[in-house]
């Protein structure tokens, strides 16, 4: 019989990495958290080189974070962005992070999202998407990012999702390079 429940536990080190009660308002400060999550995930051997966080823009507080859990939990959709979005919606008890009765939320991710994560960002209700490393950085070490085009980002903008690329790009790309140099698995390439 297949499992009737899916659990998505974050690695135990996550809470020591996130200051849940500390507002982060600047994109660079928020990106430092996403990069720290990606770096720790690699250093501790708990997953791939990607980290993400969802922020309540009114308070500046992190609502939820995610790290890549694909290999650890044997689930191809558990990219950092998807994990962060799912956990944010669970924390708030709502299927959307948008709506007139909700403060705006931002998804900050250590790398430009793949096709799946870009779609998840759109449907999640976030109003902003802030990215670190570029698509070329991920593809340069062998990750397949799927069909993401300039039109994909124009579509997000038309739907009210502002996108910022390249925040602390070199630092974020450094985590990808470290992962590659260590000979770690490229699980979709």
DSSP label at 89?
Answer: H
Q: Is residue 154 part of a domain?
A: no
Token pair for 123:
């449907």
Integer angstrom CA distances of residue 37 from 33, 41, 78, 96, 175: 6, 6, 15, 24, 10
Residues 128, 164: contact at Cβ < 8 Å? yes
Residues 6 or more apart from 179 whose CB is under 8 A from it?
Answer: 42, 48, 49, 141
Q: Is residue 152 part of a domain?
A: no
Query: Residue 10: what pLDDT?
Result: 98
Query: Residue 4: what pLDDT?
Result: 81
Residues 53, 14: contact at Cβ < 8 Å? no
- pLDDT by position in tens, the chain (length 189): 777 888 999 999 999 999 999 999 999 999 999 999 999 999 999 999 999 999 999 999 999 999 999 999 999 999 999 999 999 999 999 999 998 888 999 999 999 999 999 999 999 999 999 999 999 999 999 999 999 999 999 999 999 999 999 999 999 999 999 999 999 999 874
- Number of structural domains found in the chain: 1
Residue 57, domain CATH: 3.40.140.10
Q: Is residue 9 part of a domain?
A: no
Q: Is residue 185 part of a domain?
A: no
Residues 171, 138: contact at Cβ < 8 Å? no
Residue 120 domain boundaries: 22-147+162-180
Residues 6 or more apart from 24 whose CB is under 8 A from it?
Answer: 30, 33, 55, 60, 61, 62
The pTM (predicted TM-score) of the whole model is 0.97
Cα 59 to Cα 68: distance, rounded to the nearest angstrom: 26
Q: Is residue 13 part of a domain?
A: no
Q: Is residue 8 part of a domain?
A: no
Catalytic residue IDs: 81
């Amino acid at each position: 019989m297949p499992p009737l429940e899916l659990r998505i536990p974050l690695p135990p080190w996550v809470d020591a990495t996130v200051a849940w009660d500390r507002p982060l308002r600047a994109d660079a400060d928020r990106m430092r958290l996403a990069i720290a999550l990606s770096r720790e995930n690699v250093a501790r051997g708990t997953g791939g080189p990607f980290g993400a966080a969802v922020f309540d823009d009114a308070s500046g507080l992190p609502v939820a974070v995610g790290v890549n859990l694909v290999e650890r939990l044997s689930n191809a959709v558990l990219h950092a962005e998807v994990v962060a979005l799912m956990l944010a919606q669970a924390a708030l008890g709502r299927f959307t992070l948008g709506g007139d009765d909700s403060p705006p939320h931002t998804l900050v991710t250590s790398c430009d999202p793949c096709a799946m994560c870009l779609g998840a960002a759109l449907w999640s209700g976030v109003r902003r998407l802030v990215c670190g490393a570029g698509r070329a950085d991920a593809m340069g070490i062998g990750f397949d990012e799927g069909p993401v085009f300039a039109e994909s980002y124009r579509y997000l903008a038309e739907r009210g999702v502002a996108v910022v690329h390249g925040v602390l790009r070199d630092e974020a790309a450094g985590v990808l390079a470290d992962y590659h140099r260590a000979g770690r698995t490229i699980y979709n390439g």
